[in-house]
Amino acid sequence: MHRSIAVLTGFFFLCGCDIVLPACHFETAGCDYDNDGVNNEDDVFPRDASRVDDCEDFECGRSNSGLTCGTCGGDLPDCVDHVCVDDCAGLECGDSPNLGIDCGTCEGETETCEENLCIDDCDGLECGESPAQGFDCGSCASETAICEENLCVDDCEGLECGDSPNLGIDCGTCEGERPWCLANQCVAQIVEWVEIEGDTFTMGSDSTASQYPAHSVAVPTFQMTKTEVTQSQYRLCFEEGVCSALGEASTNCVWNDPTRAVHPANCLTWTQANTFCAFVGGRLPSEAEWEFAARSGGKNNVFPWGNAVPSCDFAIITETDEVAGCGENRPWPVCSKPGGNTEQGLCDMAGNVWEWVEDFWHQNYVGAPTDGSAWLEASLYRVCRGGSYSGINSAVRTRYRTSFTALTTMTDIGFRCAK
């Protein structure tokens, strides 16, 4: 008898050549006992409890040594990290995260696949195109509705009268105690009047030729419109057939721009301004009334707000080295700068647009009325007060005065009324 020595997996075993060894007990353990390079039934070796199963705890896939550890099926068809799972579990669409399996497609016409879930791209939207895919989310059924940010909004919502801003729909008419439609609201009067209690004050200045001499004027109590007359206010007079259309020579003329309904009416003559004031039961203010009101009842104020240096905190003006009109190069809506109001609440007595007054122009105040009335001795020019969005800052001083011919129409000339 001779002996042979087999070297297997790091252990030495002696075995007789006549001994038939039992088949390997661990078919998955990688025991190529006959060294033929294949693990199969020809490999035999006595059971060794110290060996580790190469597929232990593996449900599927290949072992570290490349053996097949099983396959998946049924409800758990996918092998991920040697465990049988459903890689599309909880997913509705798109590719699965581990194996890239097609988990399905979305069936709804407005659905889109986001993070493996079907999301209705029109969810919560009433109209217009969806934000992600541009799906048609429908249209608004109401005749007065408009689609804004995918929601149907009543274009007449909150409006009492006039045409709606977007669709031009008739939102109703006014009657009774509030007969006027102004900015889509029914109002009792077209303009808002502010009472200015009368007093005696010193008008003008001895330091400037056109404001000379400083002189005492007794101004009776009167009323003045809180704001410069707006485009929408003037349009009511036009629609009643009393006032004529405003000029349109410049893009800064507001007449036919519905987005500037509350901007001051501009590009108008002195006569057009005067006609409107008569229409609302008033007149243009006298120059004395205007200065008295701008100075908060005749106080010694350099500007309507007091004596602080002019800036866009107080008025629509041209600040040094800046674009006119506080950067807009045009008038603003009335009362945009409440910090510049007078003590009585008058808006824009400085800046925005020049304001026509009733008086004819005179080079100075020599011979001017002292009772607060307008100086009506004829000349070719009418007085304007208050400065504008496009002028120099000194023009917004309460005593500053200038003149234009009565037929002048400019984007920076408007008016307010008194009575």
Per-residue model confidence as pLDDT tens digits over 263-291: 999 999 999 999 999 999 999 999 999 99
Quickly count: other Cβ atoms within 10 Å of residue 10's Cβ: 5
Structural domains counted in the chain: 2
CA angle 21, 22, 23 (to 5 degrees): 120
Does residue 146 fall inside a structural domain? no
Does residue 218 fall inside a structural domain? yes
| 80 membership: H or E segment, kind and range | strand 78-80
Q: What is the pLDDT of residues 362-410, one digit of tens each?
A: 999 999 999 999 999 888 899 999 999 998 888 999 999 999 999 999 9
Q: Can you give the pTM of this predicted structure?
A: 0.68
Give the residue-averaged pLDDT of 128-141.
88
Q: Give percent of the chain with pLDDT exceeding 90.
A: 60
Could you give the 3-state DSSP secondary structure of residue 309?
A: coil
Does residue 97 fall inside a structural domain? no
Give the residue-averaged pLDDT of 78-91.
89
Does residue 357 fall inside a structural domain? yes
Could you give the 3-state DSSP secondary structure of residue 49?
A: coil
pLDDT for residue 340 is more than 70: yes
Domain hosting residue 23, numbered range: 1-41
Least confident of 16-30, 122-136, 294-308, 336-350: 16-30
Q: Which residues contact 149 (CB under 8 A, 6 or more apart)?
A: none
Does residue 269 fall inside a structural domain? yes
Does residue 290 fall inside a structural domain? yes
* Model confidence band, residue 73 (pLDDT cutoffs 50, 70, 90): confident
> What DSSP assignment string belongs to 103-156?
-----STTEEEETTEEEETTTT--SSB-TTT--B-----STTEEEETTEEEETT
The predicted structure's pLDDT at residue 114 = 87
* 186 beta partners: 181
Q: What is the pLDDT of residues 156-214, one digit of tens each?
A: 989 999 888 888 889 999 999 999 998 899 999 999 999 999 999 999 999 999 999 99
Average pLDDT over the chain reads 87
Q: Give percent of the chain with pLDDT exceeding 70.
A: 88
The predicted structure's pLDDT at residue 362 = 96
Does residue 167 fall inside a structural domain? no
pLDDT for residue 33 is more than 60: no
List the alpha helices (DSSP H) in 219-337: 231-239, 270-279, 287-294
Does residue 135 fall inside a structural domain? no
CATH value at residue 381 = 3.90.1580.10
